[in-house]
Amino acid sequence: MKNKSGFSLGIILFLFFICSGQNENQAASENNSETTSSQAHPKLILTAQGVKDIRAQLGNIPIFDKTLEKVKAEVDAEIAKGIDTPIPEDYSGGYTHERHKRNFLILQKAGVLYQILDDEKYARYVKDALMQYEALYKTLPVHPKTRSYARGKLFWQSLNDSNWLVYVSQAYDCIYNYLSKEERNKLETNLFRPFADYISIENPQFYNRVHNHSTWGNAAVGMIGLVMNDEELIQRALYGIKDVDLDKTTKDDDGGYINKDGKAGFLANIEEPFSPDGYYTEGPYYQRYAMYPFLIFAQGLQNIKPELKIFEYKDGVLLKAVDVLLNLTDADGEFFPLNDAQKGMSYFSRELVTAVDIAYHNANQVTGLLSIAKQQDQVLLDDSGFSVALGIKNGKEKPFDKKSINLLDGSNGTQGGVAILRKDDLELVFKYTAQGSSHGHYDKLSFSFYEKGDEVIQDYGLARFVNIEQKGGGNYLKENTTWAKQSIAHNTIIQNETSHFNGEYEKGSTHHSELFVFDASNGNVQIVSAKEKNAYPGTELQRTMVMIKEDNFEKPFVLDIMKVTSNKQNQYDFPFYFMGQPIETNFKYDSPTPMKILGTNNGYQHLWVEGISKADTDNTKFTWLNSGSFYTITTVTNPLDDLFFTRLGANDPKFNLRRDTALMIRRKNSQNTTFVSVIEPHGSYSPVSELAINAVSHISKLKVAYDSTDYTAVSMENDLGNTNIFILCNTNSSKTKEHQLNINGKEYLWKGAYYYSNINK
Amino acid sequence: MKNKSGFSLGIILFLFFICSGQNENQAASENNSETTSSQAHPKLILTAQGVKDIRAQLGNIPIFDKTLEKVKAEVDAEIAKGIDTPIPEDYSGGYTHERHKRNFLILQKAGVLYQILDDEKYARYVKDALMQYEALYKTLPVHPKTRSYARGKLFWQSLNDSNWLVYVSQAYDCIYNYLSKEERNKLETNLFRPFADYISIENPQFYNRVHNHSTWGNAAVGMIGLVMNDEELIQRALYGIKDVDLDKTTKDDDGGYINKDGKAGFLANIEEPFSPDGYYTEGPYYQRYAMYPFLIFAQGLQNIKPELKIFEYKDGVLLKAVDVLLNLTDADGEFFPLNDAQKGMSYFSRELVTAVDIAYHNANQVTGLLSIAKQQDQVLLDDSGFSVALGIKNGKEKPFDKKSINLLDGSNGTQGGVAILRKDDLELVFKYTAQGSSHGHYDKLSFSFYEKGDEVIQDYGLARFVNIEQKGGGNYLKENTTWAKQSIAHNTIIQNETSHFNGEYEKGSTHHSELFVFDASNGNVQIVSAKEKNAYPGTELQRTMVMIKEDNFEKPFVLDIMKVTSNKQNQYDFPFYFMGQPIETNFKYDSPTPMKILGTNNGYQHLWVEGISKADTDNTKFTWLNSGSFYTITTVTNPLDDLFFTRLGANDPKFNLRRDTALMIRRKNSQNTTFVSVIEPHGSYSPVSELAINAVSHISKLKVAYDSTDYTAVSMENDLGNTNIFILCNTNSSKTKEHQLNINGKEYLWKGAYYYSNINK
């Protein structure tokens, strides 16, 4: 472990505390809660003790003070504008949606300001707004927009109504003691209780399931329950609605099953989608979204019901999940866009501010988190944000060290996973997960590749402009299904122009890829390999990706071996969605005019053919330039292979898709075959210095030296004439197993899943 | 003038000094030069006095110390590698080219290090390298690559040979006294003098002209002449080769005339291409390139021949030109890519470090320059860089204030110009220049538009990957002619699918557009208008662009009026090369499959048709999203207008072009017509907050209210129902002229070129 103050160590320490007793923070909050839980407010997130501590330090905790000032300016501006609670009308992006959304965000902040600044105007503002909502809510029918499987009242989805209650319950807690008993009674009877019942009892198809939607619902019901001291709501939050019988075959708007196995409630929502490693099956974009209700409700439970030990639940998975989320970001802090994911979402989001602060506050103050908090440059205005601000002020910050990591998927960690290989400025993301719920994509054994936070070979992400009303109300676009989810939209193999599992959710959901080996213990040869046997029945896929650092190469490169074994002849397509400007190919290609479309279905209908060629040498090479660096793919081809340059955007009459490009290898009438490639970053170019440095690939010959059921060997000759050989055992990944293999008259002897060395050694 | 310490004021002060006597620096350097000019070295750029001053302050001038450390590390690394002076073979990008280029850059630095650090190893290195060059040069034939109209010996162009001598003469000056007389004699006789003669006397077609090439040649010859105290070379540098008779009709590689009017020499090169404003006719990318020899030779002349008063030549145009260059950058410091220009080139280039330092040193230390130097984070390791480092250290830095500016083109300032309108974060660049020499594009009355340094509506720039050998040796690509120079590659009008002046350089070079009015005195209504009568004989174009800041609009918007008057019916194409993701149109369009090409010639052969439509309303609207901001074009159309979405990249079999996009209006069978549009930036979107704010245009109706020979009026109604009217006098731009006009029964009375007000006022 390189950085002794990294989070993983922190987790260990945290678990140690769990075993050896409670740390001081926990003990303190328990003492508080025992004396105050039913009367003293605030108690949910901000606590009475926290308020006292914060007030004592105000002006001396820079990052907290700065956030406070910003929030105060924001809330003051809203107060000056007056309260507006319009009759609900719109989808997201529309006025009434955005207004109610802004209201709940501001109300939560105003409540906090009342407590910290002790200024009654904020309490009055919250009270007035709540009273307006009380008057409005009791008149409201179901929201007029009909697109959702679970319509809300304030918003078109119960999901957004739940968002509202998660935030507003915090506001209510902050002004609880400011209100008279009658006022509280009025709000609880006419607004909060009916609101909680509506999103739960009246919408069990939304509430009683394992899904990020219901996590929000559970948290909403539970948090208002905690504030109101309503044990029925708290139990409903933790364990779901009892005795509800849902049709197990119905689906939601995204095509996901409503509730296939009958599980429900907050604890089930922790149990199911998180793997023991803390990976959330839908991927980091939705994990980020889901983390807020998980963590904020957990913090509330920890403050008011510490006996539940919620942060220890499932081996401390909620706090592990924060570590995982941070590890699932590139060098700029942006999440790898696995499955449905909007690119650009990052750990600068408000959900991650929450996650980092709560993790720091509850996970024995792991100092690596402080460097992320410092980048975020804001904290929560509560006990946890105060802890972070104090930590930063006291100089406890350490770098958050992102390492190569393998994250297992599935509630028991047995359903594939995601591996990230990191070396120098490079990051390779390799996906061999389960389907990932309704937001999953059909991209078994796919990868994406980054340098310094820039995409080099990209994953498309989702086809949606979240909250931009002009684009289908800001919701998922049909191109998300026709393109983004399809296999051809990803850097993986596509057999016979059909997506994995034929693009069928039910099939995809019953399978996952299987890890063969992950080994990052040698920083110069890091390997991940996984197998997929179900994406195409009768065809077995094994992909192995190795990040290699060689002395003769300026930067690490990636060796990519996709071994295909089938019971019949197929057509295999193998695309690389490179980002940037093509610089050079070692093959001649035609650019057909007029421009035609690659195919008719499964995403192929969206691809223009910009260039077409036959591979006329053993090694096909392609160099491009992106963000000041050169990259070359060298791939083993045969004269029957077709090469395509594709451009996205066909059959896209609303410009919903980006005009991204790919180089694709097509191998027709093949049964067993192995795609072997090296992805090689090299050199640099600056339009300011106009210097092109190391602009040419150093791989002079790439060759499949041996390929059998048991072993695949690849030799790589560089431009100095040195040849290295990589041998993978395809059938036994044991570290202790000894192997012996003769290749071209030379005997190789080694132990473990792979061999890598200079051929003359 | 907003910022009293801005550069423009500095220029005035500088001129004042010129009139009232010399400043102290100048007096000091003259005193030095009188006692030292013929013997004491260094004297050319770094001076003996400068060395003394720098050594006294070393360790106390942070930015200088930092640069020194970096340069030392760089040179030490090169010294460790050893000297290589290979036999010349390659074009730019190739090894021998890049090696010799690196050599001259390192030699200049090593010379400086010898002086500043007083460490003999640097002198020895320079001496050894020069002796190797001496041995090599005398054996060299003309460079084997034949593409240039003036081949060099070390490089494929005499231009690059000149670069070499400009740098190496500085290195030689620095070790002059380290060498024995015999050694100097050997170098001067076998290397420097023949080298200077080769690039001048033996290549008069390169040397004896007015062009950035010959400026390098003149500087090279002059600088080595100054070091060697060779008056013949100095005279040849200043005034050109006497009695050379060049064919006035021959052209260079870029299609430019070699020497149409017989002018030559450094002074002529200052005289001709710079306008009195300091604008360089080829545009800022080449001005940047040219500035280095202009300024470095001028600094040498100022140090050794101060009686020439070179920085006062042509009213101080060399220093004005630095101010102009900085004003021709966007918010990120990148040059507006007028004519042939590689995007991304910026004031962070080494040429601009030179320009800023020399300007500060010689222009009475204008403090606005220090903020640029501070951003550059490096200085020249000479007297001027020392001045800058001291200025920064002493806290003299003031912001460099970029304002709206009109820069006249032509050696007398009578050949059109470039106007930049700036307001808040927006910059509009309007081009109505002369042809701009051989690097000029055929884009009369074109524009580009920026927000916060991001291109919103772009100018394509050049089609070249400078110094990337795989792309045609790093030289101009044929697509530069077939696409980048053509009118259709720009945001201007194209008549009958032919470029301005039929794309003929001779015709283009004899004409320029004419300014009608420029007035930025009212920050809320800034206007530029120009006419073009020669691009299409028989057709007169007047384009007026107004940057308007209105209370009801979040950001300023641009009103664009292109008035076309012709003696016959034509087809007019009017493209907007927007950057970003289309969000919404108010018209339906088809996306033809397969995809066809827009035309066959003049750049049209490079455009795919991605979308096609008829304008079916009075106002065509199109909204897009770029870098977190929304933009809407609202343009007045009629039902006969065709609308196209075009995508660049057809007939581009080497991927030499970017896949950029445009919305284009086509108006067929029209004689006189007026294109009226509003380009409206609005709102924001963040993928982190996922908030879409102010995502919809506020222009509800745009109308040509009146259009005659004398007046054009446009009414703009916003979504609050308020209507403003803009009236332009097309024929009289006098500020004092009074106008009266009745539009729809309402009488308008005003004075000056335009009227703008609410219609109800």
Residue A420 Cα, gap to closest chain B Cα (Å): 23
Nearest to A594 among B98, B474, B596 (CB): B596
Are A293 and A397 contained in the same domain?
Answer: yes
Residue B689 Cα, gap to closest chain A Cα (Å): 6
pLDDT at residue A371 in the model = 97
**What's the rounded Cα separation, in Å, for the pair B303 and B37?**
8
Q: How far is CA B150 from CA A173, A571, A741, B138, in A?
A: 82, 55, 61, 19
Bridge partner residues of B544 (DSSP):
B529, B561
Rounded mean pLDDT, A357-361: 97
Is residue A701 one of the residues assigned to a domain? no
Q: A97 Cβ partners below 8 Å, 6+ apart?
A: A88, A90, A91, A155, A156, A160
The answer to whether A439 is a known catalytic residue is: yes
**What's the rounded Cα separation, in Å, for the pair B550 and B525?**
9
Interface mutation vs chain A, best among B470, B627, B661, most A CBs within 10 Å: B470
- The per-residue pLDDT of chain A, averaged, comes to 93
pLDDT at residue B39 in the model = 57
Give the residue numbers of B marked as catalytic. Answer: 286, 439
**What's the rounded Cα separation, in Å, for the pair A601 and A737?**
45
Nearest to A597 among B467, B470, B593 (CB): B593
Structural element, H or E, at residue B113: helix B95-117
Is residue B723 one of the residues assigned to a domain? no
CA nearest B606 in A: which residue?
A593
Is residue A487 one of the residues assigned to a domain? yes
Residues in chain A with CB shorter than 8 Å from the CB of B690 are 342, 345, 466-467
Bridge partner residues of B476 (DSSP):
B464
Average the pLDDT over each of A325-329, A730-734, B21-25, B148-152 and give the range with the smallest value.
B21-25
Is residue A691 one of the residues assigned to a domain? yes
The percentage of chain A sitting over the pLDDT mark of 70, rounded to a whole number, equals 94
Residues in chain B with CB shorter than 8 Å from the CB of A474 are 692
CA nearest B466 in A: which residue?
A690
Contact (Cβ atoms closer than 8 angstroms) between residue B326 and residue B420: no
Contact (Cβ atoms closer than 8 angstroms) between residue B723 and residue B715: yes
Summarised one tens digit per residue, pLDDT across range B401-460 is 999 999 999 999 999 999 999 999 999 999 999 999 889 999 999 999 999 999 999 999
Are B353 and B396 contained in the same domain?
Answer: yes
Contact B468/A692, CB-based, under 8 Å? yes
Dig out the tokens for B45 from the structure: 């750029």
Number of domains making up chain A:
3
**What's the rounded Cα separation, in Å, for the pair A225 and A740?**
65
A652 φ, ψ to 5°? -130, 70
Are A581 and A449 contained in the same domain?
Answer: yes
pLDDT band, residue A385 (cuts 50/70/90)? very high
The answer to whether A286 is a known catalytic residue is: yes
Average the pLDDT over each of A205-219, A617-631, B247-261 and give the range with the smallest value.
B247-261
B647 φ, ψ to 5°? -135, 125
CATH number, domain at B650?
A: 2.70.98.70
pLDDT at residue B290 in the model = 87
- H helical segments located in A470-621: 478-479, 505-509
Is residue B460 one of the residues assigned to a domain? yes
Nearest to A346 among B590, B685, B688 (CB): B688
Are B395 and B409 contained in the same domain?
Answer: no
**What's the rounded Cα separation, in Å, for the pair A350 and A703?**
49
Rounded mean pLDDT, A707-715: 98
Residue A446 Cα, gap to closest chain B Cα (Å): 24
Contact (Cβ atoms closer than 8 angstroms) between residue A692 and residue B467: yes
Single-letter amino acid code for the residue at A242: K
Rounded mean pLDDT, A196-211: 95
Residue from A137, A280, A286, A536 carrying the catalytic annotation: A286
- pTM for the model stands at 0.91
pLDDT at residue B637 in the model = 97
Nearest to B687 among A345, A650, A690 (CB): A345
Alpha carbons within 13 A on the beta-carbon side of B170: 30
Locus of tokens 């002796």: B131
Are B542 and B494 contained in the same domain?
Answer: yes
The percentage of chain A sitting over the pLDDT mark of 90, rounded to a whole number, equals 88
Contact A649/B610, CB-based, under 8 Å? yes
Summarised one tens digit per residue, pLDDT across range A105-157 is 999 999 999 999 999 999 999 999 999 999 999 999 999 999 999 999 999 99
Q: Contacts from A745-748 at CB under 8 Å and sequence distance 24+?
A: none
Residues in chain A with CB shorter than 8 Å from the CB of B688 are 344-346, 348-349
Summarised one tens digit per residue, pLDDT across range B150-198 is 999 999 999 999 999 999 999 999 999 999 999 999 999 999 999 999 9
Rounded mean pLDDT, A641-645: 98
Residues in chain B with CB shorter than 8 Å from the CB of A682 are none
The residue among A402, A423, A453 that closes a domain is: A402
Nearest to B653 among A346, A591, A688 (CB): A591
Alpha carbons within 13 A on the beta-carbon side of A430: 34
Contact A692/B610, CB-based, under 8 Å? no
Contact B471/A583, CB-based, under 8 Å? yes
Are A396 and A421 contained in the same domain?
Answer: no
Is residue A745 one of the residues assigned to a domain? no
**What's the rounded Cα separation, in Å, for the pair B48 and B59?**
19
Q: A603 Cβ partners below 8 Å, 6+ apart?
A: A482, A483, A486, A487, A488, A489, A499
Contact A466/B695, CB-based, under 8 Å? no
CA nearest A590 in B: which residue?
B653
Are B448 and B596 contained in the same domain?
Answer: yes
Are A481 and A605 contained in the same domain?
Answer: yes
Is residue A704 one of the residues assigned to a domain? no
Contact (Cβ atoms closer than 8 angstroms) between residue B162 and residue B108: no
E strands present in B4-122? none
E strands present in B533-596? 539-548, 557-566, 570-576, 581-585
pLDDT at residue B715 in the model = 98
Summarised one tens digit per residue, pLDDT across range A223-271 is 999 999 999 999 999 999 988 877 777 777 766 666 767 789 999 999 9
Residue B586 Cα, gap to closest chain A Cα (Å): 11
Find the helix packing angle between B158-175 and B95-117, rounded to 10°: 20
Residues in chain B with CB shorter than 8 Å from the CB of A346 are 688
Are A421 and A554 contained in the same domain?
Answer: yes
Residue A492 Cα, gap to closest chain B Cα (Å): 25
Burial B700-717 (b: 16+ CB within 10 A, else e): bebbbbbbeeebbbbbbb
Summarised one tens digit per residue, pLDDT across range A481-526 is 999 999 999 999 999 999 999 999 999 999 999 999 999 999 999 9
Residues in chain B with CB shorter than 8 Å from the CB of A342 are 687, 690
Higher-confidence position of A33 and A54:
A54
pLDDT at residue B212 in the model = 85
Is residue A89 one of the residues assigned to a domain? yes
Are A318 and A426 contained in the same domain?
Answer: no
Nearest to A469 among B596, B655, B695 (CB): B695
Ranges under pLDDT 70 in chain B: 1-39, 254-258, 260, 365
pLDDT at residue B506 in the model = 94
Q: How many CB atoms are located within 10 Å of the residue A92 CB? A: 21
- H helical segments located in A91-180: 95-117, 120-137, 158-175
Residue B598 Cα, gap to closest chain A Cα (Å): 11
Dig out the tokens for B495 from the structure: 């008549």
Contact B623/A470, CB-based, under 8 Å? yes
Q: Which domain holds residue A334?
A: 283-402
Interface mutation vs chain B, best among A348, A378, A460, A465, most B CBs within 10 Å: A465
pLDDT at residue B30 in the model = 37
Are B452 and B538 contained in the same domain?
Answer: yes
Are B171 and B154 contained in the same domain?
Answer: yes
**What's the rounded Cα separation, in Å, for the pair A229 and A304?**
10
Find the helix packing angle between B284-304 and B158-175, rounded to 10°: 30
A274 φ, ψ to 5°? -90, 135
CATH number, domain at B202?
A: 1.50.10.100
